[in-house]
Amino acid sequence: IRNGWFSEIQEDLWPGQSFSLKVKKVVHEEKSKYQDIKILETETFGMCLVLDGIIQCTQRDEFSYQEMISFLPLCCHPNPRKVLIVGGGDGGVAREVVKHPLVEEVHQVEIDDRVVELSKKYLPSMACGFENKKVKLTIGDGFEYMKNHKNEFDVIITDSSDPVGPAVSLFQESYYELMKNALRPGGIVCSQGGTYWTDLEYIKKTLNGCKNHFAKSAFALTSVPSYPCGHIGFVIGSLDENANLKEPAIKFTTGEIDNLNLRYYSTDVHRGAFALPRYVEKFLYE
Ligand code: AAT
């Protein structure tokens, strides 16, 4: 933090560029067993969680990411009763997943209990997800957890940090194989996948890892101003060879969307999320 500004500098993942936020106050700072954690109160984006120098979420725009990583896979599944969340220590994805009327049970495995504790204290609008009775939180590594669960979940959402540090394993092909085995028939996965402006090669590698184990796979997008390049993508896979990921299996009406307090996700936004620039479509799919 220099002259009141936090800059998200990460020379390996997004060389030569950085997004900055004007900071009112550094609310908390510590080194946990796994990462450097900062909670910042920003001038215009509300509270912000930073791990190892990378912005994880801000109060102002988190709903775009948390709604989309949750409802894209949930709405692709005709009956998502049991859901697993990997990562997501702020609680925002849990908050979204429990909204879905068919979801009965949510299991979550997060590596760093300090992220959870600090989110409960400083990011209650997200951490409220942990208070729901359907949510069972385990502290541990998502990759290791997956090895011990077979034929259990309908949907697995991987809300992980970027592929540096503890999250690297969650982008590997072997992780997709483990997820396939942890799913029930017809299961769906959705993982944070980066942006095509800086990670196109990496996205292709992750997507191919998914493709090798899932009958259907695709890349979808959402807009998040506080993430690098202002948007982020998701790698989605389905075990159902008849699935059409672009068309929701369950379509909420506008009234239902409003009742669920969804501000970003809608049936039209779901369809549009899979529309990719031609050069990206060609590079990833052809
Ligand atoms: N909800 C949006 C915030 C995140 S948080 C990512 C979470 O993944 C963190 O809480 C981190 O502790 C956790 N995590 C990292 N590695 C693992 C692992 N191996 N097992 C379980 N949890 C893990 C996503 C931010 C995206 C940033 C985009 N630039």
Give the model's pLDDT for residue 128.
98
Nearest atom, ligand 1, residue 141 CA: 20
Q: Which residues line ligand 1 (CB under 6 A)?
A: 51, 54, 56-57, 65-66, 86-90, 92-93, 109-112, 115, 141-143, 159-162, 166-167, 169-170, 192, 227-228, 232
Ligand 1, atom 11, residue with closest C-alpha: 87
What spacing in Å lies between the alpha carbon of 166 and ligand 1's midpoint?
8
Q: C-alpha distances in angstroms, 11 versus 1, 39, 209, 265, 275?
A: 17, 22, 25, 32, 29
Give the contacts of 112 (CB within 8 A, at least 6 positions apart): 32, 33, 34, 35, 37, 89, 139, 166
Nearest atom, ligand 1, residue 90 CA: 1
Q: What is the DSSP string of 42-103?
A: ESSS-EEEEETTEEEEETTTHHHHHHHHHHHHHHHSS---EEEEEE-TTSHHHHHHTTSTT-
Give the model's pLDDT for residue 93.
98
Give the model's pLDDT for residue 165.
87
Nearest atom, ligand 1, residue 167 CA: 16
Whether residue 34 contacts residue 165, with contact meaning beta carbons closer than 8 Å, is answered with yes
pLDDT along the chain (286 residues), means of 10: 94 96 98 97 98 98 98 98 98 98 98 98 98 98 98 98 94 98 98 96 98 98 98 98 97 98 98 98 97
Please give the backbone phi and psi of residue 138, each rounded to the nearest 5 degrees, phi first.
-120, 135
Give the model's pLDDT for residue 74.
98
Ligand 1, atom 22, residue with closest C-alpha: 87
What spacing in Å lies between the alpha carbon of 171 and ligand 1's midpoint?
12
Handedness of CA 56, 124, 253, 250 (dihedral sign): positive
Burial class (CB in 10 A: 0-12, 13-18, 19+), 120: middle
Strand order in 47-51's β-sheet? 5-8, 19-31, 36-42, 47-51, 54-58
Give the model's pLDDT for residue 210.
98
Give the contacts of 16 (CB within 8 A, at least 6 positions apart): none
Give the model's pLDDT for residue 1.
83
Give the model's pLDDT for residue 242.
97
Give the model's pLDDT for residue 284.
98
Give the model's pLDDT for residue 124.
98
Give the contacts of 167 (CB within 8 A, at least 6 positions apart): 87, 160, 161
Nearest atom, ligand 1, residue 192 CA: 26
Question: Of 93, 131, 68, nearest to 274 (Cα)?
Answer: 68
Q: Which of 97, 115, 161, 170 to mutate to test the pocket of ligand 1 (most atoms within 8 A of CB)?
A: 161
Q: Structure pTM?
A: 0.98
2 residue type, one letter = R
HSE, side-chain direction, 13 A CA sphere, residue 2: 4
What spacing in Å lies between the alpha carbon of 4 and ligand 1's midpoint?
26
SS3 assignment, position 131 = helix
What spacing in Å lies between the alpha carbon of 253 and ligand 1's midpoint?
32
Question: Of 228, 276, 282, 203, nearest to 16 (Cα)?
Answer: 228
* pLDDT tens digits along 127-166: 999 999 999 999 999 999 999 999 999 999 999 999 998 9
ipTM: 0.98
